[in-house]
Amino acid sequence: MLQINNLRAKVEDKEILKGLSLQVKPGEVHAIMGPNGSGKSTLGYVLSGREGYEATEGEVTLEGKDLLELEADERAKSGLFLAFQYPVEIPGVSNMEFLKTSVDATRQFQGKEPLDAVTFMKLAREKCQAVNLDQNFLKRGVNEGFSGGEKKRNEIMQMMLLEPKLCILDETDSGLDIDALQVVADGVNACRDPERAFIIVTHYQRLLDYIVPDYVHVLSGGKIIKSGGKELALELEEKGYSWIDQL
């Protein structure tokens, strides 16, 4: 599904990703762990096409399509979803409006009929319930005045509605208490599907008790320096990231 070969990328003339390779197949859950500043968020931004994050070398394909050739919105509409480490507030645009526009645009791009307003509303309410957000959140400005946990749950709600092929979750667990963490994990687990893949970026092992990954990778200095199964996350937790730097 996703094939990254020797990806190098820079931000403001500083090279951050230094030859990163990763293969993700449909149905798989990959966790990416690593010390602060190792380039985890940069990877998510480069894949999603955020302005200012420039790939300088290497290839990235999503279902065989050259991802780096596409505009950010085309990448999203092709089925790539990024849940932000720091979700953005969009005051003045209601969550509902935002979601409906996103879902309509995505469906249109994929050659599907738009959902009628009633069907969409029903679906949106269902997803709110699934992430334990009151329906009033649909009427509020996108993330406007939401607490940290509410923003993260809102990201998962968006993900559930958009039904992406590849979901990248960037430290969705940071700042969550244990109950919110459980809600987020349940949401993600409900979306697991043989046709869908996840890249879960996290600093801590705790989330991976709830969302059990097939593979764990350690990103350090802009490269994946170690890969393993879910037990690698426990080993990291126990030995710390300094252990990795000595590898």
Query: Quick one: tokens of 73?
Result: 């919105």
List interacting residues with ligand ADP (CB under 6 A).
11-12, 14, 16, 34, 36-42, 52
* Residue 11 binding target from ligand ADP, Mg ion, none, CB below 5 to 8 Å by type: ligand ADP
- CB of 48 or CB of 85, closer to Mg ion: 85
Query: Quick one: tokens of 104?
Result: 């309509």
Q: Which residues contact 15 (CB under 8 A, 6 or more apart)?
A: 8, 9, 56, 222
- CB of 27 or CB of 175, closer to ligand ADP: 175
Residue nearest to Mg ion as judged by C-beta position: 41
| Minimum distance, C-beta of residue 109 to Mg ion, in the bound complex (Å) | 28
Q: Give which of 232, 226, 218 is closest to 43, Cα–Cα.
A: 218
Is residue 168 within 8 Å of residue 81, measured between CB atoms?
yes
Among 13, 14, 36, 194, binds Mg ion (CB under 5 A): 36
**Please, which of residues 77-116 interact with Mg ion by CB under 5 A?**
85
| Minimum distance, C-beta of residue 87 to ligand ADP, in the bound complex (Å) | 15
Is residue 21 within 8 Å of residue 3, measured between CB atoms?
no
| Minimum distance, C-beta of residue 237 to ligand ADP, in the bound complex (Å) | 17
Strand intervals (E) in 50-118: 53-62, 65-66, 80-83, 90-94
Among 41, 154, 172, 202, binds Mg ion (CB under 5 A): 41
| Minimum distance, C-beta of residue 40 to Mg ion, in the bound complex (Å) | 5
Q: CB under 5 A: which stretch of 4-12, 31-39, 108-116, 145-153 binds Mg ion?
A: 31-39
Is residue 83 within 8 Å of residue 202, measured between CB atoms?
no
Is residue 9 within 8 Å of residue 53, measured between CB atoms?
yes
Helix count and strand count (H, E) for the chain: 9, 12
**Please, which of residues 143-172 interact with Mg ion by CB under 5 A?**
none
| Minimum distance, C-beta of residue 219 to Mg ion, in the bound complex (Å) | 10
| Minimum distance, C-beta of residue 16 to ligand ADP, in the bound complex (Å) | 4
Q: CB under 5 A: which stretch of 34-42, 119-127, 146-154, 213-221 binds Mg ion?
A: 34-42
Q: Provide the 3-class DSSP secondary structure of residue 42.
A: helix
Is residue 3 within 8 Å of residue 23, measured between CB atoms?
yes
* Residue 92: burial class (beta carbons within 10 Å; 0-12, 13-18, 19+): exposed
* Residue 115 binding target from ligand ADP, Mg ion, none, CB below 5 to 8 Å by type: none
- CB of 77 or CB of 203, closer to Mg ion: 203
Report the b/e string of 44-63 with b at 16+ CB within 10 A: bbbbbbbeebebeebebebe
For Mg ion, the binding residues (CB under 5 A) are 36, 40-41, 85
